[in-house]
Structure 1
Amino acid sequence: MNTPHELTSIPDLRRQAREHIEQGAVTAGYDADRPKVLQLLNEALATEIVCVLRYRRHHFMASGIHGQSVGAEFLVHSNEEQAHADLLAARIVQLGGEPDFSPETLSARSHAEYVPAETLPDMIRENLVAERIAIDSYRDMVRYLGDQDPTTSVLLKQILAVEEEHADELADLLEGMPAGEH
């Protein structure tokens, strides 16, 4: 049986808040391995940026009878991935880290790959593969954090939910492609 966590007294909360004030949101109660969390968040940031770039390329390169509608969906996904990148960068800063936007190491840090793809079905497939990678990556990160960093965990779960929607939409698009376009 789990024993309830003992609450910190008000005088102790006040005292602790004044200690190490320069650490901002990172208080004495932060239990996670901050350097590891920052590394994971920067990897997630790189993944989101690579996905933004791949979706943008696919948006502009989509052609054929379904090109306009699928390309429009790629643009929506690209914008949502950019929003994820912004949220991750903000959380990195909140934890006292620096978001790594370096183009030199972006691909190496990203969990997903940048695959240009030539045909519309291949574009959909590559984006679906990337979404599936992101889904498993975010699930792993949430499991790793456990209850040590609830704020980051909630953020990752929110992003995960959108990535699952993207994967579902892409799977539907791929299924809707005529046989000759697969």
Structure 2
Amino acid sequence: MKPSKSQTATANAAILSDIQTLRKRARKNIEEGAVTKGYGADRKEVIRLLNEALATELVCVLRYKRHYFMAKGIHSDSVKAEFLVHANEEMAHADRLAKRITELGGEPNFSPDGLSDRSHAEYVEGNTLHSMIKENLIAERIAIESYREMIIYLGEHDPTTQRMLKEILTVEEEHAEDMASLLASMKP
């Protein structure tokens, strides 16, 4: 049986804190910054996942940049331009992830040591324009699945991180579509 509107309103009101309680809680544990008692996720695990996503984005930046500089052939100018746009967008994702990690009280891991081990995507150079596009598409598909899993894992426990990941996921899906279109246009 579905609760009435008044029952729902009463239940929702029980969740709300009075002003004095909010003020008192805000003064406790202020060294934790934005992370309050109401934060429902496992912060250490979220930071670990975000550092893996950061590594993935950094590997993607490096791969797209290499492909940008190494792309050759009659169709390379437009593809190179796409690689550069994607590299810049992936770097913006890395910056957002690093910022969120620090907001959660963690440290973003930019160390090159173990970068490819922390990354979900691989760094595959590719030696032809076709293979470069293919490897970028594979990496985008990996990123898409990774972000979807993280979004599900977070559920309602960290809506801020979840929203950021959804925004990044949207761009990753656009990247994958771009790469799939480029790959399809290169078929004989």
What TM-score range do you get, normalising by the shorter chain?
A: over 0.9
Shift in Å at residue 178 of structure 1?
Answer: 4.2
Map 1:7-22 → 2, pairs under 5 A: 7-22=16-31
Q: Which residue of 1 aligns with 2:152?
A: 143
Equivalent residue for 1:85?
94
Aligned partners of 1:140, 1:178: CA distance in 2, in Å? Answer: 32
1:65 maps to what in 2?
Answer: 74
- 5+ long unaligned stretches in structure 1: none
Structure 2 match to 1:35:
44
- Aligned identity (percent) is 65
Q: Does 1:166 align with 2:168?
A: no
- Alignment deviations for residues 67-107 of structure 1 (CA, whole Å, 9 cap, x no partner): 11101100000000000000000000000000000101100
1:51 alignment partner in structure 2: 60
- What's the RMSD between the two structures over aligned residues? 1.1
Q: Which runs of 5+ in 2 are unaligned?
A: none
Matched, 1:125 2:131: no
What is the CA distance between 1:61 and its match in structure 2? Answer: 0.5
The structure with the largest alpha-carbon Rg is 2
For the residue of structure 2 that corresponds to 1:112, the secondary structure is coil
SS of structure 2 residue aligned to 1:12: helix
- 2:143 is the alignment partner of 1:134: yes
CA distance in 2, matches of 1:136, 1:13: 38
Instruction: Determine the structure 1 residue equivalent to 2:32.
Output: 23
CA deviation map 1:123-171 (0-9, x unaligned)? 0000000000000000000000000000000000000000000000110
Distance in structure 2 (CA, Å) of the matches to 1:29 and 1:10: 16
How far, CA to CA, are the matches of 1:68 and 1:57 in structure 2? 14
**Residue number in structure 1 paired with 2:120:** 111
Distance 2:176 2:85 in 1: 13
Q: 1 CA distance for matches of 2:52 and 2:17?
A: 34
Question: Whole-Å Cα distance in 2 between the matches of residues 63 and 72 of structure 1?
Answer: 12
Structure 2: how far apart are the matches of 1:178 and 1:42?
37
